[in-house]
Amino acid sequence: MYDVRFYKGNYKWRQKQANQDRCSAYVEHHFNASANVNSNYAMVITGRLASQTSKSWGRWYARRISEQFNSPMGGTEGILVGGYNGRGNGNLKYTRMPAILLEPMFISNPQQAAIVKDVEGQDKLAKVLAESIVSFFPDNSRIGFSIGHKYKTSRPRDRGASVYGGGTEADYAEIVMEKAKYILENYDPAKIIEEPEVIEEESQLSPDNDIRVIKNGKEIWLHNDIDEDDDVLWDQDNRILYITSNS
Ligand SMILES: [Zn+2]
């Protein structure tokens, strides 16, 4: 059986704790949301400098979700490397092990929101997550779980996007992760025989979330209270940098 640990606090802190505990893998669970209620694709984000293992694991998960729930895959074969305009990268980049950020379905889509709220749907989501871990990481591995948005020290009330018809992204992500933890902690390899793949060490180093303005090589402005879940968008035409909080 696996040893599953939940990590709380700000995203960087969670990842550093998972490194210290020598986790073999790290997963952060989100759900997607869009103004377009028809959006329904399955997607996994990996860090910008993710290893091949992270990418293969993410693709495996996205493909299985798409098969199980009859939904299309987003990104490139189900994964988006480096996140949306870099958003999502900070949730993974400090990990020294394979790490993925899950966006299995859209809670803004009425049909998919209904699945997320349904116990059977939650069990199915948890099973896919647990199976992806069993396929890529050997039995007895320690696995780090992170619930997107929830338990951040910086914004304790953040729960992410709203679920169509009520509820929040983070509360449902937590339900699914708790179920996956249960499956993994009761996993008996005698019942299912699978060959685990070889895991390589991985390091993801890139700058912090700070935003700097540098003129002629000299830093003239620094903004450092940007949350990892904020959208940062440079409007090239109007030369405006937009920073939008999601909570
Ligand atoms: Zn989210």
CATH code of residue 77: 3.40.630
Residues 127 and 217 in one domain: no
- One domain, residues 147 and 217: no
Range of the domain at 220: 211-244
CA of 219 to the centre of ligand 1 (A): 32
Place of tokens 């992760």: 177
What is the average per-residue pLDDT within 204-230? Answer: 74
Q: Tell me the percentage of the chain whose pLDDT exceeds 70.
A: 92
Q: How far is the CA of 148 from the centre of ligand 1 (A)?
A: 6
Count of domains observed in the chain? 2
| Chain mean pLDDT for the chain | 91
CA dist 69 and 105 (Å) reads 9
Domain shared by 171 and 94, yes or no: yes
- Measured in Å, residue 67 CA sits from the centre of ligand 1 at 23
Same domain, 219 and 124: no
Q: What is the mean pLDDT of residues 210-217?
A: 80
Q: Comparing 86-95, 163-172, 196-205, 216-225, which segment has the lowest mean pLDDT?
A: 196-205
- CA 218–ligand 1 middle distance (angstroms): 35
What is the distance between the alpha carbons of residues 176 and 55, in angstroms, rounded to a whole number? 22
Q: How many residues does the chain have?
A: 247
Q: Is the pTM here over 0.75, yes or no?
A: yes
Query: How remote is the CA of residue 158 from the centroid of ligand 1, in Å?
Result: 10
Nearest to residue 149, comparing CAs of 173, 129, 176? 173
Ligand 1 centre to CA of 103 (Å) is: 8
Query: What does the pLDDT look like over 49-73, one tens digit per residue?
Result: 999 999 999 999 999 999 999 999 9
Residue 96 has pLDDT above 60, yes or no: yes
- Identify the residue whose tokens are 């709380």: 8
Measure 168 CA to ligand 1 centroid, in angstroms. 10
Q: How far is the CA of 191 from the centre of ligand 1 (A)?
A: 35
HSE-CB for 81 with a 13 A CA cutoff: 13
Residues 142 and 233 in one domain: no
